[in-house]
Chain A
Amino acid sequence: MAKRFVLIFILSILLTGCAQATTTVSTAAESACKDTPLAAGCFVPSEELDFISSDPDEYTIEETFAIDRLNQQPANWLLYSNAEYEANGVYARVVESAELRYVEMYSDGQHKPAYPQSAPTPSFIFTTKFNLDIDRKGIAYADVMIPSVGKNAVAVGVATGAVNTISITIDNDLELFVKVGGPFYYYSQAGDGGDYYETGITIEADRWYSFRFEWDAGLDLVQAWMLEGETETRLYEGAFHISNRFNGAATGAILVPNVFKVTMPYGQAGKAYLDNVIVTRKGE
């Protein structure tokens, strides 16, 4: 009896041991692909991957602000600030006068983006985007007004990413300039800051002015115009600046604008007003 008990006890332990061994030592079968991992029956290559197109989607803009909400920043626009900017140190909001809605823009001029360093980087950067990368030409319009009280200098125009393509600048004396290109991203101050051109025109405060900017990469041409009723005054016509070319090289491919940009400078406070920002295809 004792022997039987011992035998049963031993068998039960043996069975337990076998069960434990089964869970610890994998009994899974060896993979048939272990030694032939690249064989036809083992490796199944990806089917051709279903990638999406990287071609750009072109779009234009028509920003009259007529349906934007009062006292709010217009939709579709980006106003730059960073952690150093004071609350309301810069703002751009829709206001209304005589049933006309437009954008009031303010900058305290206290802070600016870190880059490009050593360049006259603005405090106020207000932008919206468009895309005419396939056409590689286009036309942009904008209306600008400088108030007589609390005015600021302002630049308005089109940019290639972060780099100005062509813009008009109204300085503190209300003199009108055209700026072509720049600053280039590493800003060596050796001609890559962009070029200013005097127009000989001084504008009046509290009055709206209309401007038109044209570009055509195929013709290597940029233009700026001032529009007064039926009168069109050409402010500038010339080639793209090297800062809008690949690597800033004279032979580099032209990089076309995709940003409509308004800036006000670092170091001074004040306001300006903006309306009717429109970008259309050229030739339509």
Chain B
Amino acid sequence: MKKFLLASLLLFLSLPLIAATEAPGTVVYTDEDYARLHAVIEHVENVLTYGRAYNTDSDLLPDAINTLTGEPAMWTFPNRAEVPYSDPANQQNFYRTLVALSVVTGDDRYKEEAVATLTEFMLNYQSPNGLFYWGGHRTVNLDTLEVQSTENENGPHELKNMLPYYDLMLEVNEAATIRFMRQLWTAHFRWGTSDLNRHGSYSTAYDVNVFGQTMIDDIIQMDEFGMPILPSDSPGDLPFVNAATDLAYAAFTLADYTGDPSPKAWAEYLMRQYHLASNPVTGMTVYQYKSTLVTKSAQECSDPAYTNSGCGDRVARQFRDFGAIAREPNVQWKNTQAIYVDNILMLLEAADKYGIDYYVDWARGYLEGYLDYAYIRVNGVNKIIPMFNDGTVTYGYVVPEVGYYGASNMRLDYVELPTTYLLPILRTILATPDPADQVKLWNYFREIVEAFGIGDVGPLGGTLPDLNLDTAIDDPFALMAMVELYDATGNVQYLDVARTIGNNIVNEKFHRGFFVDSEIMLYSRLDQPETLALLILDGVIRGIDVAAMPYYLADSGYIHGYLLSNDGVTEDRSYTQTYIYVKTIYDQE
């Protein structure tokens, strides 16, 4: 009897600990959980209903919906020409959302909607050379269903960290997808010189043997001090890492799908140039591994406001005071999302899915270097110190003249560290096999999470967190980070805080039947990550393996080109994110 009592006692005492490390799949799915799913379904249904209502001859969807009028977002050219645009490169998270919604509801209809859109797009909007009419400078006009350029009449092909949902595209149209992945390299990469241009031509002939080229030596060599020599001979090409990320991702996917190892070898070659160009002392990496050759006349380039890359390295032009380090590749205060978030998420995906294990070490090195030198907490807020990648700080510098990086008299200040950094840091930690190698990043992660108001994830391992279950944060990246920590540790505290964040997202961002950035924002973007994050949470609560859900990779879709400024009377050349998605309901005319 005494033994029985003792055993009962021990069993009951152990209940709280069991609950705290509850195995996935045993969590109760509550009405509050369903309320979040309900909001996502409502949003999806409204996007499908009103997005498709604009032109009933098409299954294409607009990139964003005006939540006051129900109409597609419009690209307005300087002469007032308005184009309701559909650019499937910018809708990847919506397709992932649709597939995820089918997974959690068990209803295939949502996935079929994604398939319908992609089927029409891939059948009708692929150039004869294999490139799709999508990306930064091409879109489909939903009024006419004709291809529209936002540059001159022959706008180039451009993908920057769009990381398409290739799994679904291959399922929908295998031949078109493979043709595209091959042509992406033919159109953007120069095999003889390793020059890479984020712009690709729709006139470049299709090359079925594109990856059969002879491999060349690394273009980045080291000087006698072991420092990388960055060439300045790129003939108008700008090898931005955000374009390379898409090339590499396509090649890795192609190699995995076809079993042909050559695309993978070229992807490794390409990403190695960025690695070699990184600063070996600080660990910080680069936005590009070359600068452009000067091809424009001295007269043209005498105007500092003329920022054409044919006038050479634009940082060297605008930041002469800093000497040789002042090169576009070395800047660590602009485009850092591309370098340290999107690129790293792709590297980690390649490591996980395609076996490029050493990418985890690269990712860890880049992030540790960047956080060691550039991360600072100011008044409890996560910030980044502007600097070059050798650690030369530019904080407080007042730019003497106008240029590519901004107006004259602009003072370089701290930049707020966005929540997007949570995922690459966490995923790098989780992919790092040796706990001793996890320590540094975990400590940064712990501090950054705490500064975002989520609480303390505790010591390395995350099994003893003290989280703020009443956190006010309403951010999808924080939500996905907490879900992934729950998935890794089984500690239910992470799930509880993820539920809080999910509730916050619904409360703060679900308005007028759509998810928007906040209540006053006018447009609901299809590429927003909130709905995918909420569905990943929903799936985890249901006990669905995270790996069975579509995976978040990027939120980078945009259109770039000539447009009418928001003053309505002058011309600019800018982005949807700068001009359109910043509009509020008070801007509706």
Contacts and interface: CB of A to CB of B under 8 A. Distances in A.
Interface of A: 10, 13-14, 17-18, 20-21, 24-26, 28-31, 33-34, 37-38, 42-46, 49, 51-54, 56-57, 78, 80, 82-84, 113-117, 125, 127, 129, 159-163, 184-186, 188, 243-248, 252-253, 255, 258-259, 261
Contacts of B77: 161, 185
Contacts of A253: 81
A44 B503 CA distance: 19
Contact of B9 (A14, A29, A163, A259): A14
Contacts of A53: 69
A188 B9 CA distance: 85
Interface in B1-56: 5, 8-9, 12-13, 15-16, 19-20, 22, 27-34, 37-38, 41-42, 45-46, 50
B78 interface: yes
A160 B79 contact: yes
B334 interface: no
Given A43-B38, A43-B41, A117-B306, A18 B12 contact: yes
Interface stretch (B274-282, B421-429, B455-463, B570-578): B570-578
A186 B562 contact: yes
Nearest to B307: A114
A43 B39 CA distance: 10
Contact of B45 (A45, A52, A114, A117): A45
B160 to A, nearest CB: 21
Contacts of A46: 42, 45-46, 513
Given A21-B16, A37-B41, A84-B407, A163 B78 contact: yes
A252 B46 CA distance: 32
Nearest to A249: B153
Nearest to B155: A186
Given A20-B15, A247-B81, A162 B45 contact: no
A13 B573 CA distance: 70
B29 A30 contact: yes
A162 B564 contact: yes
Given A29-B30, A52-B588, A82 B152 contact: no
A222 to B, nearest CB: 14
B68 A45 contact: no
Contacts of B66: 54
A46 B22 CA distance: 36
Contacts, number: 178
B305 A114 contact: yes
Top 10 A-B pairs, shortest CB-CB distance: A83-B407, A185-B78, A162-B78, A51-B70, A163-B79, A25-B19, A21-B15, A24-B19, A161-B80, A185-B562
- Chain A, interface SS category: loop
Contacts of A80: 567, 569-570
A14 B12 CA distance: 6
Contact of B542 (A25, A34, A83, A114): A34
A30 B305 CA distance: 62
B295 interface: no
B69 A54 contact: yes
Nearest to B562: A185
Contact of B107 (A14, A18, A33, A38): A38
B408 interface: yes
A245 to B, nearest CB: 8
A259 B34 contact: no
A137 B430 CA distance: 65
Specify which of B34, B42, B105 lies most central, judged by the most chain A CB atoms within 10 Å of its CB. B34
Contacts of B492: 24
B30 to A, nearest CB: 4
A80 B104 CA distance: 53
B402 interface: yes
Contact of B68 (A44, A52, A247): A52
Contacts of B81: 246-247, 252-253, 255
B542 A160 contact: no
A30 to B, nearest CB: 5
B409 interface: yes
Contacts of B78: 115-116, 161-163, 185
A16 to B, nearest CB: 9
Contact of A162 (B8, B410, B571): B571
A51 B69 contact: yes
Given A28-B32, A246-B81, 15 more contacts: A14-B13, A20-B16, A24-B20, A26-B28, A33-B31, A52-B588, A78-B569, A84-B407, A116-B78, A116-B562, A159-B569, A162-B565, A185-B78, A248-B153, A255-B81
A56 B588 CA distance: 11
A17 B569 contact: no
B568 interface: yes
A26 B407 contact: no
Contacts of A258: 80, 568
